[in-house]
Structure 1
Amino acid sequence: MYENKVNKTCGTKCSSNSLLAGLIFDDKNNLMTPSHSNSHKRRYRYYVSTALKNYNDNEVGTISKIPAGEVEKFVVETTKEFLQDKGQIQKLVKDFKVSKQNKLIYTAQNIEDYSDPKLIRAIIYKIVISKNLIEITLNENFLINVLNTLSNNQKFVIPDKREKFSPITITKKIKITQPSRNDNILILNAKEYDTPEPNPYLVNAIVKSYYYHKQIQAGRTIEDLQSEEGFKDSKYIRNILNLKYISPDLTEQILNGTQPEELSLKKVLSFNIYKMFT
């Protein structure tokens, strides 16, 4: 009655639209493959551990499911940050003549599209995500080749991953929030400093919405929850249940403390749930 999501494993079309397909793994070396869910006529993409899909719970890493858009954005921004760091690139091209070094550094700092799938697949060998860290391993040889190719206005090809290479590992601390112990809705927070303080009332409401849904799925009724909480009527329970369906963007903002300042618990509970998707 309350759960309206359909989890699906993506086929070829979905994989082609997933920037990190074939590159991202959990911290037990399980490939995380593209999946999606549908809710209220909207489609949400994820990467899900193959161990979870295969019901091998003992083999699942500390991260089993993550919103695709969040991790893709994080990887692109981290890769861009590395490429635009003159010091990092200079260390890689130090054996070239100075004029060549400057040309390659300029190229790295001025790539037209850092989210280009061909670029990402050409220079990234592997991504490993855990509860507190994300490791992005770049292929040094391929990176230099790509910069050489781009500096000469030529097209590059995606290399064979089986070839030997010199790894460059970028390690970033991350913050991932789970609104419920049993729900794998995971949010990346790329901000390591000056992190906003989440509103405890809003966060608690999100957590309760997932708890209530689990109870409903287990066979309990709204009246049971009403009695457990000691409420005179079921209005509050129903309003909290609706929070399960707010958009992932708003959920992320609430959990990270980046929601609009004027967004209070009272205001959230007074929203028409369908208006929250417009």
Structure 2
Amino acid sequence: MKKVRCAIYTRKSSEEGLEQDFNSLHAQREACAAYILSQASEGWTLLPDEYDDGGLSGGTLERPALQRLMKDIEAGRIDIVVVYKVDRLSRSLLDFAKLVEAFDKTNVSFVSVTQSFNTTNSMGRLTLNMLLSFAQFEREVTAERIRDKIAASKARGMWMGGNPPLGYKPDGRTLAIVDEHAEIVRHIFARYLDLGNVRLVVGELACEGIIAPERIAKTGRATGGRPFTRGQIYKLLSNPLYIGEIHHKGQVHAGKHSAIIDRAIWDAVQQMLATNRQGERTGSRVSSPSLLAGRIVDQHGEPLVAVHACKGKVRYRYYVSRSLQHDANRHATDGLRIPAREIEAAVITSVAGALDDPLALLTQAGITLDSDRLRMIFKKAEQLAASVRSRQRDVITDLVNKVVVHPHEIEIRLSVAALCRTCTIDPANSPGSISLTAPVRLTRTGRAIRLVQRDGRPMSQGKPDPGLVELLRKARSWWQQLETGTVDIATIARNEKVNDSWVSRLVRLNFLAPAIVEAILAGTQPASVSATSLRTASLPINWDEQLSMFGM
């Protein structure tokens, strides 16, 4: 008689009662073992391995015992899988179809003790699929009931579980305030109102030694015990639980728990969060605001995000492709990284230049002007141009709708409504925006993209590059020390904590052509003159050759 190897699989959805000496899993196993024993005359033999999943839903196949069962089936160790009921194996019709397909590949049969199913014949398969459809229907109905119950409970202001936010702890179906943690929450809200920037709040908390309190979840997982991150601060500042509200699918309900934050403070913080998009802070709080934040995109429509980096006391601002900012592993050539000062200078120059001839600008917008109002319109346009040239942020953000950076030009879309409002003109039947183009091209220098005018000069509005000026200063200082004969390159390198070759390369800049030095100090040097090119280029002694090398 052929020996038929049988494996029993048991499952229970909840963990309730599993701690008992005899639970549901034991009852299922006993019933299945008795059935196998009744088939001993057919050669059925129970395998010693136990495949039990306690506290796991039948809506997924990611169950440890089931996965172990499937591996043993693939290894050819099992002939028949025996379960108490079919829904113990799966409540999903799609998942069950996958299991039956896997059984068929290895010629494994499936038997349900209480439902007399045998998957080796077509009638058994039909009946099994029908029953499983009802099992899946029951599961979906149960899920809908649970969702409805959660929605109804939240509408009554009840806490429905999960990890409570900082400042609270579970207290039945509501939340209780943890005074020590609530003080931290209030402090964070207050500092954000004072500083107006999440990054600064995170830095100040770190300096004060305030870290996220360590908390232990019901699962035993520990959280906190580390400095706050920006993401944590953003989530904390926008959590409505702190004002005693519970939000659920767009609905706002009054919670049964007490509020930690006053409504006035909450509203002020939400207003600040809404207006403080990346790089878009008010001019009163930052000396060099990013004028084009939220309005600049590349030729494919991908936003360029305003970022900055500090080197010493110098603050460098850039507009960086969003994908490049979020993926540090991407190569620099995959996106744009444009110095903010240059792109803003190009936009300001183009917009102010267009406003110098308001008649042409308004004609482009299709607006007919009355001759008796021309003098007043020219005066208003002149005032508007002066505001743009003085970099008044509110004027620029109102006037400029979007800036599109193309490889060989910049497209600037102006708001016709803002233009007409300033010039006290009726904008009826006029387009929403008109476009200007700035004939500048992109050129790459290291990681950054430079904006270059047609004659090769950068868009810098005559402001010298602090990095280049610092290189010239070091070169001059080190050469003066070498001229005294009291120190050598090795001594300077040791004092500056750099290597000898670095000092040697920088000292050569003391012999730059005067025209190049003057251009750097005036901020009119071409894009080819950069910190990288000055450090790495082999400078010829002849000044004319230097000018030719840098395209001057």
**TM tier, smaller:** 0.5 to 0.7
For 1:169, the equivalent position in structure 2 comes to 435
C-alpha deviation, 1:23, in angstroms:
0.8
Normalised by the length of structure 2, the TM-score is 0.31
Does structure 2 retain, via aligned residues, the 8 Å contact 1:178–1:186? yes
Q: Is 1:101 matched up with 2:374?
A: yes
- 2:339 aligned to 39, 46, 67, which one? 67
For 2:356, the equivalent position in structure 1 comes to 84
C-alpha deviation, 1:71, in angstroms:
1.0
For 2:407, the equivalent position in structure 1 comes to 131
For 1:122, the equivalent position in structure 2 comes to 398
Residue type of the alignment partner of 1:176: L
| 3-state secondary structure, aligned to 1:143 | helix
C-alpha deviation, 1:74, in angstroms:
1.2
Deviation digits for residues 149-184 of structure 1 (CA, Å, limit 9, x no counterpart): 8xxxxxxxxxxxxxx95221112221322123xx2x
| 3-state secondary structure, aligned to 1:29 | coil
1:238-249 matches, cutoff 5 A: 239-240=504-505
Q: Is 1:30 matched up with 2:292?
A: no
Does structure 2 retain, via aligned residues, the 8 Å contact 1:62–1:131? no
Deviation digits for residues 62-112 of structure 1 (CA, Å, limit 9, x no counterpart): 751111111111111110001112442351475232122332123112334
For 1:202, the equivalent position in structure 2 comes to none
| 3-state secondary structure, aligned to 1:21 | coil
CA 179–94 in structure 1, closer or farther in 2 if over 3 Å, else same:
closer
CA 89–99 in structure 1, closer or farther in 2 if over 3 Å, else same:
farther
| 3-state secondary structure, aligned to 1:15 | coil
Does structure 2 retain, via aligned residues, the 8 Å contact 1:28–1:61? no
Deviation digits for residues 217-252 of structure 1 (CA, Å, limit 9, x no counterpart): xxxxxxxxxxxxxxxxx8546655999xxxxx7798
Higher relative contact order (CA 8 A, sep 6+): 1
Q: Which moved more, 1:86-95 or 1:71-80?
A: 86-95
C-alpha deviation, 1:24, in angstroms:
0.7
CA 46–257 in structure 1, closer or farther in 2 if over 3 Å, else same:
closer
| 3-state secondary structure, aligned to 2:368 | coil
1:265-276 matches, cutoff 5 A: 265=539
Q: Distance in 1 between matches of 2:530 and 2:505?
A: 20
Q: For the pair shown, which has the larger CA radius of gyration, 1 or 2?
A: 2
Deviation digits for residues 231-274 of structure 1 (CA, Å, limit 9, x no counterpart): xxx8546655999xxxxx77982535699xxxx9479xxxxxxx
| 3-state secondary structure, aligned to 1:25 | strand
> Paired residues, what number?
194
Does structure 2 retain, via aligned residues, the 8 Å contact 1:27–1:130? yes
1:43-62 matches, cutoff 5 A: 43-55=315-327
C-alpha deviation, 1:132, in angstroms:
1.7
Q: Is 1:110 matched up with 2:383?
A: yes
Q: Distance in 2 between matches of 1:131 and 1:242?
A: 36
CA 242–173 in structure 1, closer or farther in 2 if over 3 Å, else same:
farther
Residue type of the alignment partner of 2:368: D
For 1:15, the equivalent position in structure 2 comes to 280
Q: Distance in 2 between matches of 1:56 and 1:29?
A: 21
CA 41–96 in structure 1, closer or farther in 2 if over 3 Å, else same:
closer
CA 61–256 in structure 1, closer or farther in 2 if over 3 Å, else same:
closer
Does structure 1 retain, via aligned residues, the 8 Å contact 2:294–2:305? yes
CA 139–46 in structure 1, closer or farther in 2 if over 3 Å, else same:
same
Q: Distance in 1 between matches of 2:393 and 2:409?
A: 23
* Structure 2 residues without counterparts, runs of 5 or longer: 1-197, 201-275, 282-288, 458-467, 469-498, 509-519, 532-537, 542-552
C-alpha deviation, 1:40, in angstroms:
3.6
Does structure 2 retain, via aligned residues, the 8 Å contact 1:27–1:128? yes
Q: Distance in 2 between matches of 1:195 and 1:179?
A: 13
Q: Which moved more, 1:46-55 or 1:81-90?
A: 81-90
Q: Distance in 2 between matches of 1:237 and 1:62?
A: 30
Residue type of the alignment partner of 2:372: S
C-alpha deviation, 1:195, in angstroms:
4.0
1:205-244 matches, cutoff 5 A: 235-236=500-501, 239-240=504-505
Q: Distance in 1 between matches of 2:526 and 2:539?
A: 10
Does structure 2 retain, via aligned residues, the 8 Å contact 1:24–1:129? yes
Does structure 2 retain, via aligned residues, the 8 Å contact 1:139–1:166? yes
Does structure 2 retain, via aligned residues, the 8 Å contact 1:133–1:171? yes
Deviation digits for residues 117-141 of structure 1 (CA, Å, limit 9, x no counterpart): 1211112110011222211011222
* Structure 1 residues without counterparts, runs of 5 or longer: 1-8, 150-163, 197-205, 207-233, 244-248, 268-278
Q: Distance in 2 between matches of 1:131 and 1:90?
A: 28
CA 171–254 in structure 1, closer or farther in 2 if over 3 Å, else same:
closer
